[in-house]
Structure 1
Amino acid sequence: MSEQVQASPAAPRASAPRILEIGPTGYMHAAFPETTEFHSTWPDETSADPARGRHLVTLGTLRELAARLADPGFDLVVVHAPACAPWTPRALGRTIFRRSVLHGSLPLARSVAPQLLRGRVAAPVAVLDFDDPAVVDRGNAFLLDRAVAYFKRELPADHWQAFTGTLHWRVPTARFRRIARNRRRMETLRPLSLGVPLEVFARPLPGPVPEAEKTADVFFAGRVKDSSTVRETGLDELLALRAEGVVVDIPDAPLPLDAYLARLARARLVWTPEGYGWQCFRLYESALCGSVPLANRPSIERHAPLLDGEHALYYDVEPGGLARAVRAALADRPRLARIAEAGRAQVLAHHTPPAIARHVVDTALRLAAAR
């Protein structure tokens, strides 16, 4: 068992819920493997293990899946929000122009599976939307109507903004916001932590490195070119700090996962600027490895947030903001050690896959009971 699993504090232990999960990743299945029936919609997935609750969606199994959704024996149905409706040109292009097609595999049925929730569903529905955009795709409006909770990774501070350019052609107007159906949809939205990825959580991690053994002041590894302007402008400030004598560790090439995690652990600060969305895995990985995440100030509502000065550090994106934050942080290294310890505890408590899955179950079932 990995070190972080042993260290995780106990979550509320109600009886394990019986879950039916539909999506590209068995997120809930990884947390509740004994009681989750997972139906994979990942286009390149080729293997199933029904004895362990893992199934493939095919044209031949769609009817069976529809029957499973109508089964009152499940406590919760969890569906991963698709990026777009399966009949849109974008979705058809992504399905048809895949390498798997060259091998005779054209899994059109998998993109259709979430649409089965338009029919009879016996259990409460929770939706997981881990996508980068801070909007709900128009094709997922029906999921908003079916769900007791729609968990959105990039949830704008004003929840109505999640409908900008999708359910409304621009920023939702007062008239749009007065419509009862739209308000019900908005009230379904809940923040979702991106958290530590399953691949990282499944392996032993390096433990916290003592201050005397830290080898870098700031570490960063990630895409800059063709990514966020926050990264482009921030990188210039980091390089200027390096010229001042700050030890800035930026790998020249992508690192193997183990090496990447080790470099995280040996840095005092880990720069975690937003990319296509504000949340990134690095934010939680760095805290879990015993370093202090340093990010631009959040632009979204977060679940169990890493608080500024308590679990992480945040800076203003205006020119000089990153450099000032780095200098101030490095001037008080005992404080950095305290923040790193608290940040690691916060991630273990709330931002591992099991903790996030448990939060989804508890929240959805509580809302369903209230209805």
Structure 2
Amino acid sequence: MTDQAVLHRKLLDMMAASGSLPSPEWRRAAETVPRHEFLRGGYFRPVPGSAPTAWEAVHEGDPGWLAGCYADESLVTQIADTVVPADIRGQIMQPPSSSSTVPSLVLRMLEDAHVEPDSRVLEIGTGTGYSTAVMCARLGEDAVTSIEYDEQVATRARAALGQVGMFPTLVVGDGLLGHAERAPYDRIIATCGVREVPAAWLEQTRPGGLILATVGGWLGASELARLTVHEDGTASGPFLGGGVSFMLARPHLPPPLGLLPDLSEGTERGTSVVANALDDWVIRFLVQDVAPRAQRLTLDRDGVSEDVLIDVELGAWAALHREAGRWVVRQGGPAALWDAVEDQLAHWRADGAPEVDELTVHVGPQGQSIRW
């Protein structure tokens, strides 16, 4: 048995032991897909101890490259929208823009989406093509359509899939618009995060079909949701928990903050919701529902540290700081941003502070909302 085969078997055994590979059918599919074939261009690993994170390239043939390919880890394959490992000798300090998803999460999502042997699937975000190949191995090429926003990423995925003899329908375009030409689909699975589930996905999923997508926002908290599409064109379903995180779809990335408004203006009052409450993942997730375009930053103003939420599109903001042993909020702009946050958290706490897997998401003509 080759080193590659041993590493592949160990990965599958580890996933099975951890419970992330419960289905023998999906294990057989994963056994036929060599992950290293989708990483021959190399990947980036974080430089230990760097802050902000610096990345260094691992190229095919480098020590540890093959073992890394079969680690149950997300592997960054592109940085700053254009930079790939072949471009780097040394380190780069820019944000990742494409990656190979953790293999156990790939298999978990296929299980969570209840993908059946006769399912027609639209994948949003081809990435390296690894998850596309796993679906092809079980469903057949004709059942799989995958759309990728980045043309260069799509080109590399197409080549890797061809190398392992798989030729599904691959599309370059905006995944938020879906791919109507091959609709309707039984399942839509997104390997990128979204702020709101797009209407096009509902329109292209047959009634009773499922959409599996990570819903999040600009405060950095996201959760995996499984929505059932109804006869009336709406969709609803539970969050599955686990704090699943994907890079946001590029059209859903936050705008630059630009020139900040005058934060000394506005109305000031006391608040019972402290700024560091936003350090909690669940609270940030709930806040994003009522302040979906808000970004968070910390500023030092006249020697006072302020925690700021700002919606640059709307021009609304809220700044919090401690004063004489109490928390104070100052708000400005056309909407009272912190009032909405307080109301949301008050209702949530009054109902017993339900966990994420007790929340549901609803999407319809009035938009998207989270309920419990």
Q: Shared topology, TM-score over 0.5?
A: no
**Higher helix fraction (1 or 2):** 1
**Higher strand fraction (1 or 2):** 2
- Structure ranking higher on relative contact order (CA contacts 8 Å, 6+ apart): 1
* Structure 2 length-normalised TM: 0.30
* Structure 1 length-normalised TM: 0.31
